[in-house]
Amino acid sequence: MKHEPYLLPNGRVLRYSFHERMIHWMAGFSYLYLLLTGLAFWTPSLFWLALLCGGTTISRELHPWFGLVFVVAVFLMFGMWGRQMKETPADKAWWAAIGHYIRNEDDKMPSADRFNPGQKLLFWGFFVNGILLLLSGLILWFPQYVPWSLHVVRPLAVFVHAVCFLLTVALFIIHVYMGTAMERGAFGSVIRGDVSRAWANHHHHSWYQQILRDSESQK
Amino acid sequence: MSQAATEIIRISGHAGSVPGAGIDREFQVCKLVDTTTCIGCKACEVACLEWNGYPFSQTTFNNSYQTMPETAWNYWNLIKFNEHEREDGSLMLLMRKDQCMHCEEPGCLEACPADSAIVQYANGIVDFQEEHCIGCGYCMTGCPFNIPKFSPAARKVFKCTLCNDRVSQGLEPACIKTCPTGCLHFGTKAEMKELAETRAAQLREHSGFPDAGVYDPPGVGGTHVIYVLHDAKNPEAYGGLPKDPHIPWLVQLWKKPLRWIGNLAIIGGVLGVFIHYMRYGPKVVKEDENHGGTQ
């Protein structure tokens, strides 16, 4: 899918289109409900979270439906971002320099395209775990339809669901931290869609330079 | 359980010892099912429905006397009929009353995430508290005996209560009361175990069943429903009674190590990003920096 980010008349850069932002928050809000209800079922000390999510039985009823919404959003993301998330040979150098990134020594980082390799990891992490959570979740949704001769798949589904849940929580913590506190300006890009030119140049240098080249050639 | 209120351990102003001191009271109840004297009359099935207030369900005919393939959310007591060919070529009709085993280490309770939905009483009865059940079905995953069943209408899970309402009033369970052959017995765990062993020895020594024995599986810590079987080496022949039942190891792994590792990882992750912020702070982009005019 060809995506066309462009320079805005107010001197800013469109980072995410309205369509992309809507799908991001379709995933975001459904994941939040899944996370809170999931944590409630995960450990007795957080069972009270189910009360915040509509009650204990309501939480159990709605969790799978929100799961479907989340998986649909993940598949839509795959459709619009899958190609841009492909690993490139340049990603190795970025990962090799990850220590600089963590220490905010961004001037020592190789330049990133529209999505940096960390964002690609987040995307594929949610994509793969999303599929596994869907498959195991379908068994957890309807355990009564699993015949007793196949009952071994029930504990397997429970275990896979729990492991994938933990992996997405790790991704989620890092994603929310980076998208709000750590990278100033990133949260706005997924709300109103735009970032400053300096932000685009700093965080996604290769992508921004391509935008500049495209706008030059269109003149 | 209620007998504890009648047991005196100290008496004021009393010369001499406390009467009855040192008596070992047995509160653990047990149901004994002697499959060798069951005649398959299904009176226990009917008594269970009557006492628990369920209507008689649709039956399934599957070239067997069995009422339906397995117990249902509103059919907790089912005699499983199995034709069994012995080594000498003769046939036996094995009849085993299937119901909740009331495990000492119940897999349903271990797997359940809902506060107070499953309780285990001191007398050994494992009971579902449906008002707290959220209908997730994890109990069905934890049970090695295929007992908890989901009600699509109530969206909750039900199973045999071992007539907890009767037992707490000093009565025997409904199935025991109705059994016409005396193949069902009810009493303390110790008494039932002794009775079962006596019967198994009788079968071995006098009735030509050298492998007769008692089914009280240690994998789930023993059960509060025990069987006398003609062939204790082959419980599977009795309608799929598991040879060595235990809580599925993936459920144990999930509820113990994985939960602890996961909780530590979640707390560690949240603390980790907080510490990162304190140490390194945000990535600030200087708005006056040369933003790509050079090419």
A13-35: per-residue pLDDT in tens?
A: 999 999 999 999 999 999 999 99
Flag if A144 and B280 touch (Cβ within 8 Å): no
Which of A7, A182, A205 has the most B C-beta neighbours within 10 Å, making it the best mutation to test the interface with B?
A: A182
Question: Which residues form the domain of A97?
Answer: 13-217
Asked whether B29 and B173 are in contact (CB, 8 A), the reply is no
B274: closest chain A residue by CA: A177
User: How many Å separate Cα B5 from the centre of its chain?
Assistant: 28
Flag if B254 and A162 touch (Cβ within 8 Å): yes
Nearest to B112 by CA among B133, B93, B87, B90: B133
Residue A175 lies in a domain: yes
Flag if A41 and B281 touch (Cβ within 8 Å): no
The predicted pLDDT at position A5 comes to 52
From CA A189, how far away is CA A21, in angstroms rounded? 9
Least confident of A67-71, A87-91, B71-75, B283-287: B283-287
Asked whether A42 and A33 are in contact (CB, 8 A), the reply is no
pTM of the model: 0.91
Domain total in chain A: 1
What CATH number should be reported for the domain holding residue A51?
Answer: 1.20.950.20
Asked whether A124 and A86 are in contact (CB, 8 A), the reply is no
> Each residue of B11-51: pLDDT tens digit?
898 888 888 777 777 789 999 999 999 999 999 999 999 99
Checking if the pLDDT of B293 tops 50, the result is no
> Each residue of B232-287: pLDDT tens digit?
999 999 999 999 999 999 999 999 999 999 999 999 999 999 999 999 999 988 87
Nearest to B104 by CA among B222, B245, B266: B222
From CA B274, how far away is CA A206, in angstroms rounded? 30
Task: Give the amino acid at A37.
Answer: T
From CA A111, how far away is CA A132, in angstroms rounded? 33
Q: Going by C-beta distance under 8 Å and a sequence separation of 6 or more, which residues neighbour residue A139? A: A146, A153, A154, A157
Asked whether B163 and B51 are in contact (CB, 8 A), the reply is yes
Flag if A155 and B273 touch (Cβ within 8 Å): no
> Each residue of B141-159: pLDDT tens digit?
999 999 999 999 999 999 9
Of A40, A155, A182, the CB nearest to B250: A155
Residue A48 lies in a domain: yes
Residue A149 lies in a domain: yes
Flag if A159 and B254 touch (Cβ within 8 Å): yes
Asked whether A60 and B134 are in contact (CB, 8 A), the reply is yes
Continuous H helices in chain B: 43-52, 107-111, 138-142, 164-167, 174-178, 189-206, 249-253, 259-280
Asked whether B45 and B78 are in contact (CB, 8 A), the reply is yes
